Amino acid sequence: MAELRPDGEPEDLTGPERLMWDAFRTGSVCDLSTRTAERDDPHADRVWGPERSVRAAVVALLLLHGPDPVRGRVASLKLRGVRITGRLDLSGGTVTPYVELQSCRFDGEVQLSETRFGTLRLVNCAMPRLDAARLQTEGDLHLPRCRVARGIRLTDAQIGTDLLISEAVVQRDNKGRALAADGMSVAQDFQGELLRAYGEVSLRGAKVGVSMSLRGARLNNPAGKRALNAPQLTVERTLYLTSIALDYTAGDSGSSTPPYGQGYTPLRGEPAHHFECRGGLRLDDGRFGDAVDFYGARFTLTEDQEVSLRRIHTPELRFVGERTERGRVVLSGSQVVKLVDTAASWPARPGRLSIEGFGYENLAPRGHFPTALRLEWVEAATPEYSPEPYERLAAVLRASGEDADAREVLLAKQRRRRSTLPPALRAWGYLQDWTVVYGYRPGRAALWMAVLWAAGAVLFAVHGEPPPIKADEHPDWDASLFALDLLLPVIDLGLQDQWILKDGWQWGGAALIILGWILATTVAAGASRVLRRG
């Protein structure tokens, strides 16, 4: 660039650059577009000639050391349909003017590392790469419908209000990342609806002050392990990884104000763009103030990839996406208040789901999700027996007033545990199950007692009155009371020590005593389990 005049204007400005310079001083739009859709598409292969080209060095001069505005106007850089040649480097600078570029094309990398902006809006622009590590903005950073060939870097960036990258198409950099935003802070909303990323989206330790929406986004990382890598992500409100209604439009690219509305999650059966994740998803140790929503989400995983939600904390988890056929879903150590799910959302194969230490207080299933299917859910999550998931489910059911279902869950736990015991204890378990169902169905114990009492009464009535131990001191013979006294192991009616049983009748009495003790101990064991759970 040639020498500057005393007023700061370069002496060698081209025609398009002079138009841009004058528009900057008045705050108006420098529009070099042809008003023809095919010719003005910055993402097409059509060549843009010198008649609509400006040098990146002149753009940098305007933004960092631009001329004073015309009196009564506010200086700002507003470009439409402009080609910026060379590498735009504003690293470490402070840009005071408002910046808005629409449908522009960058020939070289855009370097904004450690740059300070008020508001920066790049709408529907094409660029090889955007490097904005430690960028700081007082207002918005908008990148809607941009296409970036070698990734976006926003590591440790601080966005003063909103980050908008809806409908952007981002290819991966030389490290396999489409969006590298570890440690980024967004004061308000992060909107990435209908985003297309062809590399890892890395948001490790990022913070979002309100909500984060990736509705309808497609994250694809065929060359790496994860498509979304966001451990320790903090979102003060809701994280949306959901479908988006088909009739959603982000806005008109020709408007002077970039699109700023949020789409919405469609109702059941309504046409939608699904959130798709081709590669692993990791939200470990995340904190979400309202909810994590997976409505309509689709996951395409390999055998060694995971939807990892380890140790997340959120009031509500809406796991209502489509079932993944491969890979794993891991919720170990997570804590949620309300679990919203469907039976068809969870992996069906054993070993594909892990819920060890997963805490939830309420269940709010969508659709048909009976206790039998919920038990299959627990079994799929515990290829090796573990009591904790059963006890958690039973406690939640009991707290919601579903005591019968809670007993079914605890009974299923005992039967599952029985398979891990040695043969003798396993046989004892079968006996408890067959007789009194581990004490969880006390009605069966009462029925057995009644049957045995009746059988004993008939037995001793047929036998007749046995000889008394003391001929002159004995009560009147009563076969029913005598059988009951033998059957009850704790209560002593004072009859079994008054009569002498001989031969086979002695064996019958011993059988009643043994069966009485078996019934009593199994009922006591079941009752103690119920009391401990209560």
Banded model confidence at residue 12, pLDDT cuts 50, 70, 90: confident
Residue 339 has pLDDT above 60, yes or no: yes
* Mean pLDDT, the chain, integer: 86
> How do residues 477-522 score in pLDDT, each as one tens digit?
667 776 676 666 656 565 565 656 666 566 666 777 777 776 666 6
Of 12-16, 445-449, 452-456, least confident by mean pLDDT is 445-449
Residue 524 has pLDDT above 80, yes or no: no
Banded model confidence at residue 120, pLDDT cuts 50, 70, 90: very high
| 203/190 Cα distance (integer angstroms) | 12
% of the chain surpassing 70 pLDDT: 78
The answer to whether 482 and 453 are in contact (CB under 8 A) is no
Residue 164 has pLDDT above 70, yes or no: yes
Residue whose tokens read 């008045």: 26
Of 7-11, 65-69, 297-301, least confident by mean pLDDT is 7-11
Q: What is the pLDDT of residue 527?
A: 57
> How do residues 25-40 score in pLDDT, each as one tens digit?
999 999 999 988 889 9
Residue whose tokens read 């660039």: 1
Over residues 418-430, mean pLDDT = 79
| 510/115 Cα distance (integer angstroms) | 92
- DSSP 8-state code for residue 323: P
Over residues 36-49, mean pLDDT = 92
Q: What is the pLDDT of residue 383?
A: 84
Closest CA to 441 of 450, 453, 432, 430: 432
Give the per-residue SS3 of 140-204: CEECCCCEECCCEECCCCEECCCEECCCCEEECCCCCEEEECCCCEECCCEECCCCEEECEEECC
Q: What is the pLDDT of residue 21?
A: 94
The answer, as to whether pTM is greater than 0.85, is: no
Over residues 208-236, mean pLDDT = 95
Residue 529 has pLDDT above 70, yes or no: no
Q: What is the pLDDT of residue 436?
A: 65
Q: What is the pLDDT of residue 160?
A: 97
Q: What is the pLDDT of residue 517?
A: 72
Over residues 124-142, mean pLDDT = 97
